[in-house]
Structure 1
Amino acid sequence: MELLDWIVIGVFCLALIGIVVWVINQKNNDSADYFLGGRDATWIAIGASIFASNIGSEHLIGLAGAGASSGMAMAHWEIQGWMILILGWVFVPFYTRSMVYTMPEFLEKRYNKESRTILSVISLISYVLTKVAVTVYAGGLVFQQVFGIKELWGIDFFWIAAIGLVLITALYTIFGGMKSVLYTSVLQTPILLLGSLIILVLGLKAVGGWDQVLQVCSIQPVNEYGDHMTDLMRNLKDPDYPWLGALVGSAVIGFWYWCTDQYIVQRVLSGKNEREARRGTIFGAYLKLLPVFIFLIPGMIAYALNVKSGGTFLPVDANGVTISDAAFPTLVAKILPAGVKGLVVCGILAALMSSLASLFNSSAMLFTIDFYKRLRPNTSEKSLVRIGQMATVVIVILGILWIPIMRSVGNVLYNYLQDVQSVLAPGIAAAFLLGICWKRTTAKGGMWGLLSGIIIGLTRLGAKVYYSNTTDATDNWFKAVFYDFNWLYFCGVMLIFCCLVVVIVSLCTEAPSEEKIKGLVFGTATPEQKAESRASWNHWDVIHSIIILAITVAFYIYFW
């Protein structure tokens, strides 16, 4: 890092501080202001926030690392971003009509209080122990690699970077609330895109062009069935990413994440109306087409550079094994000129901070609205804001306390992250999908769909931990189903099972009243609600949605 890089980083930080100070001066008078930015966000802020919130450590570390180790396989998860369109076109009308703050609150309106509690607990635990922990861990790792600093003032630089990232992000999230998340995203998103695009262009120049990347990666086998790093659709017998499993698993996880997860949907709930919310999802879907090109392909470029350099480009661990997860920060450190490196570091900082800020705000909102306000319904709006700020502080402390554990088992936990999402998604997806699409779905049906998903999911994760650390485990049906069975196929079968549970329990219990589900299920909207939804879109919204779908199809055709 040279002086020019530090100047660029300083200018970025000043701009960030300016936005945060401006947001703080826009007083948060009530909980809607604090958690949803007063519900007056425009489509640009919503789309930018969706993208910036999504881009975190799993992209800077995981996606680029996956590109360097296994090639195009992980592209399925990124290209499924078109499912944001389902959020905008299908779910936004129901979420907007219900006037809810959180997804658990929506489940209470559609089902019962128990369903709300179950989803709130699942969401809070998963946020603190997976998303917050992994983002903080990766943040420390990235900056240690990029700055090349082992120690500072006698302290491991990892700790300084990780804790500093948490504290700075926490400060503007606590004082600014949702508005600070939205408006800092408007600054952070273009910087992240520009920095990553520079990495892509200079990386391609360094390796000799896209043809060189294809040439090097197309000769690297990834299984015994003739597939190579450049193959997106892999043999059905591939142990990790069989093409059918990848399509099904990524679709289930994508539906849960983009359409039902508080972390993403909260950006949409902040829209001033249905039109702005939908257009925000369309803009977000456009942006979501980019990560494959600005993160995964640079990982493949790093692999090609490593092969061409005889294995000296990427770092190796104590056992001499190449550290694929260091692909993106290594590209930043080795191929970028002064000034540009500072800009890309700002992009990395922006991605991690925006992702963390969204997590803090969503977690605080879940606790305040779904637990505290339910216990004390007469709490004033200003008190709810203070409780939200205190909840953010607690979540920050828990995140910092989790860092030592995260660092000691970082690689293991990171590898399990996709597994966690694959078993978390089916039960929640089944409850929301059938709850909105089928009027006959009952409260107990939805609740048991959620519970069955959690029970099966925890069993799968427990089996994963146990059998991964047991060398002499005997083969039996339990091991075959909950450990040996491919995780992607397991995710798809689990969704079918949870849907069956919802259907069977619903048919065995009393149907919900028309009044309870009015406006929350297909076929129950009033003429006024239908007219309002129809007036919220025009032919341009349809055209842009079709363009996004066409680009997705073209991508699959090219890399088939």
Structure 2
Amino acid sequence: MALLDWLVVGLFCIALIGIIVWVMRQKQNNAEDYFLGGKDATWIAIGASIFASNIGSEHLIGLAGSGASSGMAMAHWEIQGWMILILGWVFVPFYSRSMVITMPEFLERRYNSQSRTILSLISLISYVLTKVAVTVYAGGLVFQQVFGIDTLWGIDFFWIAAIGLVLITALYTIFGGMKSVLYTSVLQTPILLLGSLIILVLGLRELGGWDKMMEICSAVEVNQYGDTMSNLIRDNRDPQYPWLGALIGSAVIGFWYWCTDQFIVQRVLSGKNEKESRRGTIFGAYLKLLPVFLFLIPGMIAFALHQTQGDFLPMLANGNPNSDAAFPTLVAKLLPAGVKGLIVCGILAALMSSLASLFNSSAALFTIDFYQRFRPKTDPKKLVRIGQAATVVIVALGILWIPVMRSVGDVLYLYLQDVQSVLAPGIAAVFLMGICWKRATAQGGMWGLIAGLVIGITRLCAKIYYSNADVIPGGDTSNIFQYLFYDVNWLFFCGWMLVFCLLVVFVVSLFTKAPEPEKIKGLVFGTSTAEQRAVTRESWNHWDIIHTVIILGITVAFYWYFW
């Protein structure tokens, strides 16, 4: 990097420090102040925070790498961002009326305390083992590529970059809480968008334009059924991304992530009212239309440049191009001085905002769902300190898990989606039945979660066992266990798992006592009071509907173009 690049990075850091100092001077007297920013966020802050929190290293490394290795296939998961609209239009009223801080807390209000404990444990473990660790791992990798430094002071630069990123982010998250996450996102989001847009434009100019990229990628077949890298919809016999499985699996994962996951919903709960929260989700849905073009398409551009130049991407030990290096390689090879510094700021913004959101959400889960439950009379200011201490522990656990994540390598984004495909169905089923069906009982919700957890763990363990045993998928048709938990395509498995968990909730609920009407008032369709419905109706107007229709129209047009 040139001197001008370092000056740009320095200015970004000064602006970031200024925001953090301002946030730290605000009073944080209780858990609501610390974890929800005092519930006074506007739609701009909410939407920007949703987008900036979502866009992390799994996009800079994983999504761009996916574009370079398999083309448009992973676009399903990004374009399903329209489901943020379901969060705003359907779930926000129920979450707002329940006055909760965490999603497990909502399950306790709707079902029972056991459901809350199960979801808290699933969320905390998954955050540390997947989101925190993967973000930190990929952050170290991307800065090692961008700076071109292998070792510094005799230490692997990967570790310096990864741990430095964690410590800096942890400091402002610990002391600033949710407000620091929200307001730094307002700075980070436009920088991330501008930087990624520059990469897209310069990449297309270097290659020779959009048509050239589509020509090269359309000539590369990805299966024996005639599908190419440019096809979003692939033959239903495709072993990895059958079109029906991709639509079902991405929808299940998308529903879980955008409507029920603490990581995203906590940003919406920080809104000052239903109107700001809903409009925040609409703004976030607009922004979520962009990652396919800002990250996946640059990955395809990097692949096309490698096809034409032969040595654009670095090579792996097995002789294949390193797809996960697509985005940082574009940064390192195409950008002039000053602009490269801006891109580095964008990368920093993505990594830090995603990590900060993870730290804050994890701390909220521990403090509210565990500590406060067992010590309900704890002083509100002490809860803030407990949340800060919890963040420190989560940071440490994430760092300790990095050595394991280094073995993930070039399957980073697929690894994330694979784990989420068995995590999502049980949780999605319980939330869906909880707000749609008044008869869903506490035992039904609890056993739905347990069923999802047991099946998910069984699937992951079976995959590890059979993969290491060099078993050929479908090779032993007499082994029912292998067929169900290994041979079945991961996307179809996700869909069938959702159906099974819904049935568990349904059947158990039929054989157990129905919930008292007073307990579920305002938490399920058909139980809201006239006053609650009036508040919700006053929170939207025709403009909210118009923007929602525009977003859905763009989504349909995207599928039509890349069909």
TM-score for both structures, normalised by structure 2: 0.98
CA RMSD of aligned residues (A): 0.9
1:494 aligned to which of 489, 493, 497: 497
SS at match of 1:395: helix
8 Å CA contact 2:263–2:361 kept in 1: the answer is yes
What's the CA shift string for 1:496-540, capped at 9, x where partnerless?
000001000001111111101000000000000000000000000
- 2:399 corresponds to which residue? 400
**Pairing 1:281-320 to 2, within 5 Å after superposition:** 281-309=281-309, 311-320=310-319
- 2:154 corresponds to which residue? 154
Match for 1:12: what amino acid? Answer: F
1:37 aligns with 2:37: yes
Residues in 2 aligned to 1:409 and 1:201: alpha-carbon distance in whole angstroms = 30
Match for 1:529: what amino acid? Answer: Q
Match for 2:458: what amino acid? Answer: T
Residues in 2 aligned to 1:554 and 1:401: alpha-carbon distance in whole angstroms = 44
1:12 aligns with 2:12: yes
Residues in 1 aligned to 2:319 and 2:3: alpha-carbon distance in whole angstroms = 34
- 2:509 corresponds to which residue? 506
What's the CA shift string for 1:203-238, capped at 9, x where partnerless?
010000000001100000000000000000000000
What's the CA shift string for 1:23-56, capped at 9, x where partnerless?
0001211111100000000000000000000001
Residues in 2 aligned to 1:57 and 1:77: alpha-carbon distance in whole angstroms = 16
- 1:344 corresponds to which residue? 343
2:519 aligned to which of 501, 516, 519: 516
- 2:546 corresponds to which residue? 543
- 1:386 corresponds to which residue? 385
- 1:372 corresponds to which residue? 371
Residues in 1 aligned to 2:186 and 2:218: alpha-carbon distance in whole angstroms = 38
Residues in 1 aligned to 2:395 and 2:502: alpha-carbon distance in whole angstroms = 36
Residues in 2 aligned to 1:181 and 1:472: alpha-carbon distance in whole angstroms = 45
- 1:116 corresponds to which residue? 116
Once the two structures are TM-superposed, the CA of residue 416 in structure 1 deviates from its matched residue by 2.6
Match for 1:80: what amino acid? Answer: Q
8 Å CA contact 2:322–2:410 kept in 1: the answer is no
8 Å CA contact 2:66–2:413 kept in 1: the answer is no
What's the CA shift string for 1:263-309, capped at 9, x where partnerless?
00000000000000000000000000000000000000001100010
- 1:236 corresponds to which residue? 236
Once the two structures are TM-superposed, the CA of residue 414 in structure 1 deviates from its matched residue by 5.5
SS at match of 1:525: coil
Residues in 1 aligned to 2:419 and 2:319: alpha-carbon distance in whole angstroms = 29
- 1:224 corresponds to which residue? 224
Once the two structures are TM-superposed, the CA of residue 418 in structure 1 deviates from its matched residue by 1.3
Once the two structures are TM-superposed, the CA of residue 320 in structure 1 deviates from its matched residue by 1.6
SS at match of 2:519: helix
Residues in 1 aligned to 2:471 and 2:174: alpha-carbon distance in whole angstroms = 49
Are the structure 2 counterparts of residues 467 and 412 from structure 1 closer, same or farther at C-alpha, using a change threshold of 3 Å?
farther
- 1:62 corresponds to which residue? 62
Once the two structures are TM-superposed, the CA of residue 409 in structure 1 deviates from its matched residue by 4.4
SS at match of 1:516: coil
Match for 1:224: what amino acid? Answer: Q
1:483 aligns with 2:483: no
8 Å CA contact 1:23–1:176 kept in 2: the answer is yes
Match for 2:492: what amino acid? Answer: Y
Residues in 1 aligned to 2:89 and 2:112: alpha-carbon distance in whole angstroms = 26
Tell me which moved more, 404-413 or 120-129. Answer: 404-413
Residues in 1 aligned to 2:7 and 2:412: alpha-carbon distance in whole angstroms = 36
- 1:255 corresponds to which residue? 255
Residues in 2 aligned to 1:273 and 1:318: alpha-carbon distance in whole angstroms = 54
- 2:453 corresponds to which residue? 454
Residues in 2 aligned to 1:500 and 1:319: alpha-carbon distance in whole angstroms = 46
- 1:187 corresponds to which residue? 187
Once the two structures are TM-superposed, the CA of residue 401 in structure 1 deviates from its matched residue by 1.2
SS at match of 1:29: coil
Residues in 1 aligned to 2:209 and 2:383: alpha-carbon distance in whole angstroms = 55
SS at match of 1:96: helix
8 Å CA contact 2:58–2:412 kept in 1: the answer is no
Residues in 1 aligned to 2:129 and 2:464: alpha-carbon distance in whole angstroms = 16
What's the CA shift string for 1:145-186, capped at 9, x where partnerless?
000001111111000000000000000000000000000000
Once the two structures are TM-superposed, the CA of residue 58 in structure 1 deviates from its matched residue by 1.5
TM-score for both structures, normalised by structure 1: 0.99
Match for 1:185: what amino acid? Answer: S
- 1:274 corresponds to which residue? 274
- The count of corresponding residues between Structure 1 and Structure 2 is 559
